[in-house]
Amino acid sequence: MLTPDQDVLESGESPDTPGSEMARSPRSTLATVRRDPRDLWPEHARKLYDYLVAIYGEDDVLPTLAAAWIAHQRSVNTQKSYVCGFRAFEEFAREHGEHPMAVKFVLADTFRMYLESTPTWVRVKGGRRGEMARTGKPYSDASRKNALSAASSFFAYLHKVSDDGVKNPFDAVQRPYVDPTYSPTPGYTEAEWARFVAVARDEHRVAAYRKRAYALLLMLYTCCLRIDSLLNARVQDLGYDKGHRVLLLEKVKGGGRKKKPIPPVTWDALQDYLDGRDTGWLFCTASGNQLDEPAVWRLLQSLAKRAALPLRGPHGIKGDAVTHALAKPDARPDKVQQWADHKDSRTTQLYNRRRELLDNSPGYGLGADVAGALAHGQD
């Protein structure tokens, strides 16, 4: 039997010849192509791999398995969150002289207690660039739950891909209860939101970036977008469908594609910002590079200070959008759910419950009665 290379010599065909049997042959592809599967890993998986290789070396299976586990997650936000939680677990295991893949229940449960009291890493004020120290507040309930969920997910992945029946040491570890009706992010009223947007349009510290800031806020708010979805969009993703200006999102939370209708006020602001540009990242830096999430965080913090409003992050904008949409007299919760990309209606209703806990507090009635009684006593 001839080898693939001998086949080529006999036929006179080159592997590069368009339409040749060699170009179409799976056998020849396996014989000639040597691509590293890691090249296809998403950003957060590659970064975790590099971080772990620097510690454990390339001969250890941990870097490859951990990175493959991150690449297995559908959502970019989940990938990022799990990397953060896993690094906390890996550091803890290493400090206690244990390989992360060899951790048993006792040490896994100790990790839970460790998270409750250990200071978090924060940047050193006045220190060298990138200098960090463990001087921050201990992990919040949500952060502890995320770190434990990340470690548990990693072992669940090992169980799936291993022939040895890896047992998950985190199965019996109790996780902190996080009240779903509580959110640390302060909400804005519609009037406060209008002031916030007006400051972006008219008073942003850098006048050259006002159009970008104004369009970005309107896109997040009126299209109910996650920040990672918006920052990964390109100008070419804008389109028209059945009378609507739309943005085609390649990936929404959990995967999948979706068209988001763009209201006229937002479309006008977006076109004013783009100024005829028809390629590249939808929201980019002055040099044309992709605008990143830390830059958006800094923008929102700066605008909130100028508007004399509570500080917030990008997800707070989506929360305001859902809350305000549900408060409309003709609101349809099912429509809001689809618009917000919530798979479960209970997620959408959480925003109603959070608002009602504040708006309908019996304390307002008691306070009014007390105020009336005190005023009557003064008379």
Of all residues in the chain, what percent carry a pLDDT higher than 90?
A: 68
Q: Note whether residue 56 is domain-resident.
A: no
| 62-72 helix and 141-161 helix, angle to the nearest 10 degrees | 110
Q: Note whether residue 313 is domain-resident.
A: yes
Mean pLDDT of the chain: 88
Closest CA to 340 of 193, 181, 183, 226: 226
Closest CA to 168 of 181, 151, 182, 183: 151
Mark whether 129 and 237 lie in a shared domain. no
Q: Note whether residue 13 is domain-resident.
A: no
**pLDDT top residue among 378 and 354:** 354
Q: What pairs with residue 281 in β-bridges?
A: 234
What CA–CA distance (Å, rounded) separates 47 from 351? 35
For 117, the domain range is: 74-161
Mark whether 326 and 196 lie in a shared domain. yes
With vertex at residue 60, the alpha carbon angle to CA 57 and CA 65, rounded to the nearest 5 degrees, is: 115
pLDDT tens readout for residues 201-219:
999 989 999 999 999 999 9
Q: Note whether residue 203 is domain-resident.
A: yes
Mark whether 198 and 249 lie in a shared domain. yes
Mark whether 262 and 210 lie in a shared domain. yes
Asked whether the beta carbons of 75 and 255 are under 8 A apart, the reply is yes
pTM: 0.73
Highest mean pLDDT among 6-20, 208-222, 241-255: 208-222
DSSP 149-167: HHHHHHHHHHHHH-SS---
Q: What is the mean pLDDT of residues 251-273?
A: 86
Position 30 scores a pLDDT of 42
Mark whether 268 and 346 lie in a shared domain. yes
Position 262 scores a pLDDT of 97
What CA–CA distance (Å, rounded) separates 265 from 219? 10
**pLDDT top residue among 256 and 155:** 155
Q: Note whether residue 49 is domain-resident.
A: no
What CA–CA distance (Å, rounded) separates 322 from 324? 6
Mark whether 216 and 309 lie in a shared domain. yes
Alpha helices by DSSP H, listed for the chain, are: 4-11, 21-24, 26-32, 43-56, 62-72, 76-95, 105-117, 141-161, 190-202, 210-222, 227-231, 264-274, 293-306, 314-326, 333-339, 345-359, 362-378
Position 91 scores a pLDDT of 95
Count up the domains in the chain and report the number.
2
**pLDDT top residue among 48 and 120:** 48
Q: Note whether residue 172 is domain-resident.
A: no
Q: Note whether residue 225 is domain-resident.
A: yes
Mark whether 354 and 209 lie in a shared domain. yes
Q: Note whether residue 371 is domain-resident.
A: no
Mark whether 246 and 107 lie in a shared domain. no
Q: What pairs with residue 244 in β-bridges?
A: 241
Position 312 scores a pLDDT of 86
**Residue 310, domain CATH:** 1.10.443.10
Mark whether 128 and 221 lie in a shared domain. no
Q: What is the mean pLDDT of residues 22-50?
A: 70
Report residue 14's pLDDT band, with 50, 70 and 90 as the boundaries. very low
Mark whether 254 and 123 lie in a shared domain. no
What CA–CA distance (Å, rounded) separates 354 from 323? 9
Q: What is the mean pLDDT of residues 287-299?
A: 95
Report residue 251's pLDDT band, with 50, 70 and 90 as the boundaries. low
What CA–CA distance (Å, rounded) separates 193 from 327? 14
Of all residues in the chain, what percent carry a pLDDT higher than 70?
A: 89
DSSP 57-117: -TTSSHHHHHHHHHHH-S-HHHHHHHHHHHHHHHHHHHHTT--GGG--HHHHHHHHHHHHH
For residue 256, what are the contacts with CB-CB under 8 A and spacing of at least 6? none
Mark whether 226 and 333 lie in a shared domain. yes
Asked whether the beta carbons of 236 and 279 are under 8 A apart, the reply is yes
Mark whether 200 and 292 lie in a shared domain. yes
CA distances from 366 to 138, 353, 355, 374, 377 (A): 37, 21, 19, 12, 16
Report residue 255's pLDDT band, with 50, 70 and 90 as the boundaries. low
